Amino acid sequence: MKVLLVHNPDAGTAGETTGGLVAALTAGGHQVEDILLEGDRWQAALDTPADVIVAAGGDGTARTVAIALATSPHVRTPLAILAQGTANNIARSLGMPEEPGELARGLAGADRSRLTIGCVRAPFGVAHFVESAGVGVFATMLRSSRHIRQRRSRDERIAAGIEHLRKLLEDANPVEVAVTADGEDYSGCWLMAQAMNIIAAGSRVELAPGADPADTALDLVLIGERDRELVLDYLARLARGEDVESPLASRRCRRITMGWPQGAGHIDDHAWPESDVPRGTEVGIEVATAIPVLVPR
């Protein structure tokens, strides 16, 4: 197979892992063209004829490549992901491998699927997302979690991220948010209101355990005061490394409108927008499109 390998040269041990992937792909008879995820030229390289585009990296790399493919009018080459970040929520939701050899061996007989891409439309702009978009305590966490990235090991970063979210949720005040989903009114005082496209967000926190990244719907997750203790217990056990099932339920829907309080909104792992928005602003959230993916067996 002809493989376009897209990777971030600055992402931790990405160089070492990517070198191993190139060697594994070549040994498996694949032809590899390496593309560095830097500057602006890499997007034009996605037009290169190939059988598969492999994004090697964490959720940031996977998201960047997926959205570039979704917004390209010409490229329909399927995507595969080598998970080599911290949380790897996107790759894990799709069932992608973490080992270069496993990916290289599984590409030829890979299962075909797809990954839907969400879109948020607001008076101040339009943005695409792969994991989630919403308001509340999760957005607060993103604005205050830089110290977590300084932890040495992946397990330490994941545990620290979960514990940080737990502490924020413990102290958070519910925010009145106007929410409708497919015409049904779910407005109320919420600690968190999230439109999920995949199972987990942040440090592998399963906010929508029933979500399907291949379907044409989003999963609306609403966490209120009555859910606080249940979610706090889940996060505490998760931070301790326990194998615990998420207690959260979601509502599958096609279109969501949501109030967007000042300083309380996020798109994937970024605060959005960075500046304040007018009071009373509402946004529309829906699936924009889908891209083809290959899931190595």
Angle subtended by helix axes 154-171 and 228-239, to nearest 10 = 160
CA distance 164 to 236: 10
Band the pLDDT of 17: cuts 50, 70, 90.
low
| pLDDT at residue number 244 | 95
| Cβ neighbourhood burial of 286 (10 Å; 0-12, 13-18, 19+) | middle
pLDDT at 144 over 80: no
As given in the structure block, the two tokens for residue 177 are: 């948010």
| Cβ neighbourhood burial of 184 (10 Å; 0-12, 13-18, 19+) | exposed
Question: Percentage of residues in the chain with pLDDT exceeding 70?
Answer: 95
Q: Determine phi and psi for 163, rounding to 5 degrees.
A: -65, -35
Residue found under tokens 């605060």: 271
Sheet holding 270-271, edge to edge: 251-253, 218-223, 192-196, 132-136, 265-267, 270-271
**Cα 143 to chain centroid, rounded:** 17
Please compute the mean of the pLDDT values over residues 35-52 and round it to a whole number. 90
Question: Percentage of residues in the chain with pLDDT exceeding 90?
Answer: 75
| pLDDT at residue number 84 | 87
| pLDDT at residue number 11 | 56
Of the segments 36-45, 71-80, 137-146, which one has the largest average pLDDT value?
71-80
Q: Whole-prediction pTM value?
A: 0.93
Kind of pairing, strands 251-253 and 179-181?
Answer: unpaired
Structural domains present in the chain:
2-109 (3.40.50.10330), 118-289 (2.60.200.40)
Per-residue pLDDT of 238-281, as tens digits, reads 999 999 999 999 999 999 999 998 878 999 999 898 777 877 89
| Cβ neighbourhood burial of 40 (10 Å; 0-12, 13-18, 19+) | exposed
Per-residue pLDDT of 65-84, as tens digits, reads 999 999 998 889 999 999 98
pLDDT at 121 over 90: yes
pLDDT at 21 over 80: yes
CB atoms within 10 A of CB 204: 16
pLDDT at 120 over 60: yes
Q: Are 62 and 91 in contact (CB under 8 A)?
A: yes
| pLDDT at residue number 200 | 96
| pLDDT at residue number 154 | 85
| pLDDT at residue number 275 | 77
- Helix (H), strand (E) at residue 265: strand 265-267
Per-residue pLDDT of 208-221, as tens digits, reads 999 999 999 999 99
As given in the structure block, the two tokens for residue 147 are: 């110290």
| pLDDT at residue number 150 | 59
CA distance 15 to 43: 20
| pLDDT at residue number 82 | 92
CA distance 248 to 133: 17
pLDDT at 201 over 80: yes
As given in the structure block, the two tokens for residue 294 are: 């290959």
Q: Are 179 and 193 in contact (CB under 8 A)?
A: yes
pLDDT at 151 over 60: no
Please compute the mean of the pLDDT values over residues 30-56 and round it to a whole number. 92
| pLDDT at residue number 152 | 67
Residue found under tokens 């960047």: 64
